[in-house]
Amino acid sequence: MKNKILLCLSLDALVYQIMGISVCPTREIQARQGEVTSPNFPNAYPSDSNCTLTIDGGNNVKIKLKFEYFEVEEDENAPNGFDICPTREIKITPDSPETMKGALYSPNSPNFYPNDQSCTLTLDVPDNYKTVVWFQKFSLQYSPTCDFDKFVVSDESDSDTQCGGSAERLPPLIEKKGRKVKFAFTTDSTRTSAGFQLEYNITRLEEGRCVCTSGLGYTTIANFKPRNDRKHDDIRFEFKSSQSSGMIMYAKGLHKDYIYIGYKDSNVFMYHIELGTGTRKMEATNLRLNDNNWHMVHLTRVDQSLSINIDDGRATLSGQTPGGYSRLDIPNSTAYFLGAPTSLNLEPNFIGCIRNFTVDGYEPLTNAWVGKPDYSIVGRSSMRQCSSEK
């Protein structure tokens, strides 16, 4: 078995450079940069080794470690994943697949966990995603109301508390759709047990991907500002309707800035936007939009440049916003989708079906359908899910 570690140390003063030294024997050194290996590298390290190499980097120094090669004997009894302790937060990033799944276990696993533990691991899950949790092992001190040792999985909407358990009686699969998914493990000072091992997976939301509405309701994002890309827009959706006019999206800032998307008179698609120096009303005409067939829409903005593309090029339009401003400033704004309060005097609420709706990467319908924070549906009973394939 082989183990090789590359150390890069940033020091203010050059002391000397490590050149492929072994971690054994135990000692302390001073170094600026270099390479550390297991004993006998690149050959197999010897059995019964126990060494510690301490590197004194001095004051105000950051040490960066990079593993160039790592291979050690596996412990067949060691659990997969990470200890739930200490308390910390993990940011889930869809662009980094390694953060989209994981495994956790109780402290000291596979042995009994210690008394007097209190740890919380939080997953910061982005919009458009949900968390699915299942248990491989679960055995905690039992009480009917989980007063002693307990494990809690929670988000902004609800929580699931577990205790007791055995190899034959695992907790059920847990699904959380919130933005902050927390795993909290608490033990008292009485007795311990074998603990838990679990796995989690972050997957894309599917509920609400295709929605049909009778026009009596709409969807909102109460805090649209952090989801608004001020200099760019990329809005995509497909819709079908027999309605002659319908509102798709509207958001307005405190002053002039706004964005408004919809269609009217059965054949005019509207993309209106104001960046603070004059309104630009982009309207694609001579279309047939209320034929109850699916129509694909792609709208973009890069600074002041706008474009409309309907049905993969069947209708295209490009233009510029007037003036010199290039940012859409809508702080403290509520964004409306598929309808709005009548006081806003927009086109009628949309009647029909809409699917695969994204606004700058966010999915207003899927997030609202599962009740993500900041998303809501007004008149939910007037909406139903539909098949995105039809």
Other CB atoms within 10 Å distance of the CB of residue 248 = 25
332-346 exposure pattern, b = at least 16 Cβ within 10 A, e = fewer: ebbbbbbbbeeeeeb
CB 312 within 8 A of CB 210: no
Averaged pLDDT for residues 158-176 = 91
Question: Collapsing DSSP states into helix, strand and coil, what is residue 158?
Answer: coil
Q: Is the previous residue joined to 86 through a cis bond, with omega within 30 degrees of 0?
A: yes
Reported confidence tier of residue 190, pLDDT bands at 50, 70, 90:
very high
What DSSP state is assigned to residue 235?
E
Residue 366: its H or E element: helix 364-369
CB 29 within 8 A of CB 56: yes
Minimum mean pLDDT range among 13-27, 105-119, 222-236, 298-312: 13-27
Long-range CB pairs of 21-27 (<8 Å, 24+ gap) are: 21/53, 23/51, 23/52, 23/53, 24/49, 24/51, 24/53, 25/51, 26/51, 26/52, 26/53, 27/53, 27/54
Averaged pLDDT for residues 363-389 = 92
Residue-wise pLDDT for 147-159, tens only, equals 999 999 999 989 9
Q: What is the rounded CA–CA span in Å between residue 114 and residue 110?
A: 12
Q: All domains of the chain, ordered by start, with CATH?
A: 1-73 (no CATH), 82-204 (2.60.120.290), 210-385 (2.60.120.200)
Residue 368: its H or E element: helix 364-369
Query: Which residue type occupies 371?
Result: G
The whole-number pLDDT of residue 68 equals 77
Q: Does the structure show a pLDDT above 80 at 14?
A: no
Residue-wise pLDDT for 67-78, tens only, equals 777 766 555 555
Minimum mean pLDDT range among 66-70, 116-120, 299-303: 66-70
